[in-house]
Amino acid sequence: MMRPYTPKDNVQAKAYYTDRFWVAPRIAEEPVPKEGIYAEDLDALSAKCKVLKAYIQRGQLVIHIDPKDNITALKTLKEERWYEMLSEMSAVDFLAERGGFEVFYQILNLNTAQRIRIKCFVDENEAIESVNPLYRSADWAEREMWDLMGVKVNNHPYLKRLIMPDDWEGHPLRKTYPLEGDEFAQWYEVDKIFGKEARDIIGPENRDPARIDRYDTERFARLGHEVPRGTPPEELKKLEEEGVVTPVRYQEEEGVFLVKDLNEEPKVLDKRK
């Protein structure tokens, strides 16, 4: 039997059935009206840099520009058109289809309550200039974009991973990133704490919350002197006499105050039901 082919450039969940004649409808890209605030914004912008495409989608102006013009464009809109807030920026992964990312800047004019989305297409090996000098909020947004998508940013003051650990490999929001956790993710904690050579001793992580550990121990309060669960009483008594294990003395047996014997008929599952 042949194994089904799964494309490696996009490992995301996919629709299991799509009609062969089905064509996805598109949201209309309306032309920008000749008059009004958006028209003025667009005029101010096209005087300073090249506008590749501009349209209105669901009430918001969307402008496509060249990635090299991002500082010029945002500066123009901020200083001449009072788009003073960068409410969001991030990227969309189009590596498989077009070999790059679509970076978007969502800006807001607080006086007119109007929003513009500036978009530019960045190739995989190309870097985009940081807009941190214009908007401080780009500091964390660009770090997150670098961390999760792997879009390179030039002249950022502190381009370091924000959400994932500093020494993480790979960029989790890419379409190629495995959903189940790759080998690096699986051994991350073991490698970091004990070293790679301990992988064999510790074994892979078991994520079954109902797992019953057969190598479980009792009397684990005294570190290094634990007793394997199910040790025969006579052997345990011998260990207690040797002083290897501290004997437990209950309140009922004139032992330690408040340490009660709750042990009658213990209910221990040996395996999962």
Residues forming contacts to another protein in the complex (CB under 8 A) are: 12-17, 24-27, 57-58, 60, 62, 84-88, 90, 92-93, 104, 106, 110, 113, 115, 117, 135-137, 139-140, 148, 161-165, 172-173, 177, 179, 193-194, 201-202, 215, 217, 220, 223-224, 226, 228
Query: 């634990």: which residue's tokens?
Result: 226
Find, among 210, 170, 163, the residue nearest to 186 by Cα: 170
* Alpha-carbon dihedral angle through residues 135, 140, 146, 148, given to the nearest 10 degrees: -130
CA dist., res. 104 & res. 97, Å (int)? 18
Cβ-based nearer residue to another protein, 57 or 251: 57
The 8-class DSSP code of residue 68 comes to G
Q: How far is the CB of 253 from another protein (least distance, A)?
A: 27
Minimum Å gap between C-beta 79 and another protein is 13
**C-beta of 57: minimal distance to another protein in Å?**
6
The nearer residue to another protein, 69 or 147, going by C-beta atoms, is 147
In terms of CB distance, is 184 or 220 closer to another protein? Answer: 220
User: Cα(first)–Cα(last) distance of the chain, in Å?
Assistant: 35
- For another protein, the closer CB: 7 or 228: 228
AA identity, residue 33: P
| Pairing verdict, β 127-129 and 152-154 | parallel
Q: Minimal distance in Å, beta carbon 122 to another protein? A: 15
Question: How far apart are the C-alpha atoms of 143 and 34, rounded to whole Å?
Answer: 38
Nearer to another protein, 55 or 250 (CB): 55
Q: What is the CB neighbour count within 10 angstroms for residue 74?
A: 23
- Smallest distance, another protein to C-beta of residue 58, A: 5
